[in-house]
Structure 1
């Protein structure tokens, strides 16, 4: 295998493995044995190692000394910290984008919201997974909001946090959409942004994330242990 073929193989494994981690195809905490990954994606050992190391640097794979690679676990504490950090960073990025954004930025938001609003989040009522096109357009919309913040570093961090959030959303697709109108939540954010109402836009963005936090918390919160009471047998 020449150098170009090796890079192509490593990129292919990286992209496919990344998607399987994000959409729950590989369960949280699962050990990623080199041979298993190699067989699953039909790639050699070196491209697999390169892909795992790259994903490890992005936080989507956990590397443990002397133990190998693992899909990162999920936890209620991790989910809360993730949402809190997204609120901080994306709130600031949105604030700066509203300050700096021009007409082209506004048009980008309008177009991305339009595409998002026309895309069903499930392909059918029987489907238990999110429509991939919905995920992509949802991500595109949120990136459009912060595109004019003036910091590629901040945008890069926000992208990584979006990936982490996607993992948690896939834990309970049905729950995260039950009893809420996500389209109207995004519409409200869009209207506040286009009206240049910074405080309201940030408030609506944060509330949008907090609502998702509350819906998914119930799915990853361990059930309370019921203590046996012998007096109930009396």
Structure 2
């Protein structure tokens, strides 16, 4: 679920809507997966050529992605891909912790037997999947990882809150992909998720929240470290070009 995106057509079912939605999803996947160079200008003509759609649905898709913060927009000069920065990651992580703390506390307070079963199942499936498919992260694990975190807050009784958390999760995923944290990571990710789930299932909201925040902050710090390593590795080449 995303918020702030305009309807692509009056009834949402016409060919314009279908084409714009197709471009939107393809381009969004590429943006989140780090397949496109950050800060580069995104010309409508280039998107038309790459994704095989007309200019009108392409503009619809670009405007929708801009409303989600995945693209920036220059007045009269088109769109550009939002950069990844340490400052932005810090703000993103902080905001995500704020919102998901509230969502998790509400979810635990209103938990049901069905929610508990779903959480146990999500954790079990996550534990059976291999995270790494070097040099990248296993996409199947990513889906199960997303499901676990979504189930965790699903009993909070606010689709708005869940929707905002989903948006932040997308942006966090983009940072993890850009940092390529699947390579050489030393952590027991399943133990982190198990601790969150066990505290939640026990009704220990304080413990679950702290475990969740620790989990997100550790991921962010690892991304920060990878960005620093990449900058250090790129510095000699940058100096050579000058």
TM over 0.5: yes
* Equivalent in the alignment of 1:187: 194
| 1:172 to partner: Cα distance | 2.3
- Judged with a 3 Å threshold, the aligned counterparts in structure 2 of structure 1 residues 208 and 64 are, in CA distance, closer, same or farther, namely same
Contact 2:181/2:222 (<8 A) preserved: no
**Within 5 Å, which residues of 2 pair with 1:99-118?**
99-118=109-128
Query: Normalising to structure 1: TM-score of the pair?
Result: 0.89
Question: What SS does the corresponding residue of 2:136 show, helix, strand or coil?
Answer: coil
**Relative to structure 2, which stretch is displaced further, 56-65 or 196-205?**
56-65
Counterpart CA distance in 2 for 1:7 and 1:84 is 35
* Equivalent in the alignment of 2:214: 207
Counterpart CA distance in 2 for 1:175 and 1:66 is 39
* Residue 151 (structure 2) pairs with residue 155 (structure 1): no
After superposition, the C-alpha distances for 1:128-170 in whole angstroms (9 at most, x for unaligned) are: 1222111111111101111111111111110000011011001
Larger Rg: 1
Contact 2:135/2:183 (<8 A) preserved: no
Question: What SS does the corresponding residue of 1:150 show, helix, strand or coil?
Answer: coil
Q: How many correspondences in the alignment?
A: 220
- Match among 145, 149, 172 for residue 138 of structure 1: 145
* Equivalent in the alignment of 1:39: 49
After superposition, the C-alpha distances for 1:158-199 in whole angstroms (9 at most, x for unaligned) are: 000001101100122246761111111101111111111110
Query: Normalising to structure 2: TM-score of the pair?
Result: 0.86
| 1:4 to partner: Cα distance | 2.0
Contact 1:176/1:215 (<8 A) preserved: no
**Within 5 Å, which residues of 2 pair with 1:16-55?**
16-55=26-65
Counterpart CA distance in 2 for 1:201 and 1:213 is 18
* Residue 15 (structure 2) pairs with residue 5 (structure 1): yes
* Equivalent in the alignment of 1:58: 68
5+ residue gaps, structure 1: 227-234
After superposition, the C-alpha distances for 1:33-71 in whole angstroms (9 at most, x for unaligned) are: 101111111111111111111111111111121221111
Contact 1:171/1:219 (<8 A) preserved: no
Counterpart CA distance in 1 for 2:165 and 2:75 is 28
Contact 2:136/2:182 (<8 A) preserved: no
* Residue 68 (structure 2) pairs with residue 68 (structure 1): no
| 1:90 to partner: Cα distance | 0.3
